[in-house]
Amino acid sequence: MIKPTLKCLKNYLSISCIVLVFFSCKNISNINQDHLVFRYNEYANLNTLDPAFSRTLQDNSACNQLFNGLVQLDKNLNIHPAIAKRWLISEDGTSYTFILRDDVYFHKHPLFGKDSTRTVVAEDFTFSLNRLRDSKTAAPGGWVLNKVDDFMAINDTVFQIDLKQPFPAFIGLLAMKYCSVVPKEIVEHYGTEFRSHPIGTGPFKFKRWEENIKLVFRKNELYFEKDEQGNQLPYLEAVALTFLPDKQGEFLQFAQGNIDYISGLDASYKDELLTSNGKLRKKYFETINMIRGPYLNTEYLGFYLDSETPEIQSELIRKAINLGFDRKKMMLYLNNGIGNPAIGGFIPIGLAGHSETNGYNYQPKKAKQLIEQFKTETGINHPEITLNTTSNYLSFCEYIQQELQKAGLKINIDVMPEATLRSARSNGKIDMFRSSWIADYLDAENYLSIFYSKNFAPNGSNYFHFKNKLLDSLYNKAFTITNIEERKLLYTQMDSIAMEHAIMVPLYYDEVLRFTRKNVKGLGINPINLLDLRRVRKN
């Protein structure tokens, strides 16, 4: 922990001192420059600040402050220029030519030489994308280039990407943090330690990271983007993160004014903040703002189909679980009405391909019949399954446990840390697990890739080990179709196949829910819940 020196305390109006002492000297946190520092907590912690390895929402939100790519998403997930100021797509849809800005600078670092920085050139994207798909790097984001044949720097400001076949959703993939530009000389100097010594082009630059304790970013004075009035972004001088490991502690810090923002709804404070129908309680009207909107996130329970457990192998049991609990009641009583019951399959509301006919409604009698049929066919008179979850979703799992108990199925619940659950799920060590799938780009292909047989975990996202020849065929066919209405029909059919086999139990389609202190302006929301602090102000 950094202790403030006497000199720092005497000159506490400087932003650097504010940020450094914020974590260790409580009475300094409310000085008159505090409105220039945005403070939040990341209870799930961070794995990396290297965008090539940024696979979680937490990592993405941190990397979003530090890095840029060729293109970026707006609050409605529309594609906009970033380092590429414009682009051209060939008539056959296989070649993308990007014209780059010439005023984008990397964050300062002594390795850049006399000026401590340099401009981004097209060759930097060649290096960054080659690194992403290099097997030696083993970056989890390499899959975004699966449809890419080749790429090259034509000159300093022209970069070209050629695809193996048309893929209409490709431009959206380039907006992912995986595809951020990084400088070769810095990456090669730090090697794997680039994760904790990041140099990018983003609105903020890296200052310090004490893992599990604090993380500080400072304003990038050389940032290239301006607001609509021509003012340079960002408005803030610094961003300060803490890593309190539980949501209840995070909420207490927020309620006391020590952090500026919290995201999502947790059982530990949901009834304190919200009424039963999802409205902010009156006692918080003067101190807190609530922002709410659609979230392209499906919460679900998944089954590992290669399990040797008879109950997991049985479609009868898997369908019974889907039919055996009331999703609407669950959302009302356990989540204060936040989120929409997932009765329309895996693809969430708002994406082409979603269909209300693909999922399961509450049918308790049918669920009981299926379980009785399983008992008769297998001779297993007391079927039971173990469901693995994290503590944040325990109430949902307990509700499902109680409802399925009425139908004759015993569900044991095993609570484990998020990182442990993630590893066990990827490596097929657990039979049934709670998980979520958040859209990376605005195309349902992103959701359906989880069913594709060539994406078996741990090398891909098919945690179920589901394999279906018809679905695989439709998935491959979708890449050749540019008409969204035709693709929509294929997407709906693929989702229907997965639901018919009941390889998962969709729970609900989430909503973005953000709470900020009243003095925070300009935060906004977006359907992938990515944190964007470029236009945030504090009064």
Q: What is the pLDDT of residues 240-254, one digit of tens each?
A: 999 998 889 999 999
pLDDT of residue 98: 98
Q: For residue 484, what pLDDT band results from cuts at 50, 70 and 90?
A: confident
DSSP SS3 for 131 = helix
The Cα–Cα gap between 407 and 399 comes to 13
pLDDT of residue 15: 38
Checking if the pLDDT of 538 tops 90, the result is: yes
363-412 pLDDT, tens digit per residue, is 999 999 999 999 999 999 999 999 999 998 999 999 999 999 999 999 99
Average pLDDT over residues 495-513: 96
pLDDT at 169 (0 to 100):
83
In this prediction, residue 43 has a pLDDT band, given cuts at 50, 70 and 90, of confident
Cα 416 to chain centroid distance, Å, stands at 20
With bands split at pLDDT 50, 70 and 90, how would you rate the model's confidence at 44? confident
pLDDT at 328: 96
pLDDT more than 90, % of the chain:
77
Average the pLDDT over 126-137 and give the result.
95
- Res 25: pLDDT: 39
Query: Is pLDDT above 80 for 11?
Result: no
Quote the pLDDT of residue 5: 38
pLDDT score of 8 more than 70: no
Rounded to an integer, the average pLDDT of 186-207 is 97
CB 91 within 8 A of CB 157: no
Does residue 106 surpass a pLDDT of 50? yes
Is pLDDT at 27 greater than 70 in this prediction?
no
Can you tell me which residue has the tokens 């907590």? 41
State residue 166's pLDDT score. 85
- The per-residue pLDDT for 77 is 81
Tell me the average pLDDT across 427-434. 96
Q: Tell me the pTM.
A: 0.78
pLDDT reading at 460 higher than 90 = no
Residue of 366, 508, 354 whose CA lies nearest to 442: 354
- What pLDDT does 268 receive? 86
Q: Encoding tokens for residue 203?
A: 């609105």
Residue 282: is its pLDDT beyond 90? yes
Q: What is the pLDDT of residue 404?
A: 98
* pLDDT tops 70 at residue 153: yes
Q: Supply the pLDDT for residue 168.
A: 81
| Contacts with 357 (C-beta within 8 Å, 6 or more apart), sequence order | 344, 496
Q: What is the mean pLDDT of residues 154-177?
A: 93
Which has more confidence, 154 or 45? 154
pLDDT band at 530 (very low <50, low <70, confident <90, very high): very high
290 pLDDT more than 60:
yes
Give me the mean pLDDT over the 88-112 stretch.
Answer: 96
Evaluated on CA atoms 322, 324, 327, 331, the torsion sign reads negative
Percent of the chain with pLDDT over 70: 94
Q: What is the pLDDT of residue 327?
A: 98
pLDDT at 9: 34
Q: Which two tokens stand for residue 458?
A: 């741990």
Backbone conformation region of residue 70, classed left if phi is above 0, alpha if psi is from -120 to 50, else beta: alpha
**For residues 413 and 146, which has the higher predicted lDDT (pLDDT)?**
413
* Mean per-residue pLDDT, 489-497: 97
For the segment 62-81, the average pLDDT, to the nearest whole number, is 93
**Per-residue pLDDT for 216 more than 50?**
yes
Please give the average per-residue pLDDT across 242-268, as a whole number.
92
Task: Tell me the CA distances in angstroms from 481 to 13, 97, 168, 484, 485, one per residue in order.
Answer: 58, 21, 8, 8, 9
| Cβ-contact 435, 397 below 8 angstroms | no
Least confident piece of the model among 80-84, 263-267, 323-327, 431-435: 263-267
The confidence score (pLDDT) of residue 7 equals: 38
pLDDT tops 80 at residue 23: no
Q: Is the pLDDT of residue 170 over 60?
A: yes
Residue 29 has pLDDT above 60, yes or no: no
32 burial (CB, 10 Å; 0-12 / 13-18 / 19+) is exposed
Rounded to whole angstroms, the Cα distance separating 436 from 43 reads: 17
Q: What is the overall mean pLDDT for the chain?
A: 91
CA distance 529 to 193: 28
Q: Is pLDDT above 90 for 265?
A: no
Rounded Cα distance, 395 and 413, in Å: 11
Higher pLDDT, residue 15 or 250: 250
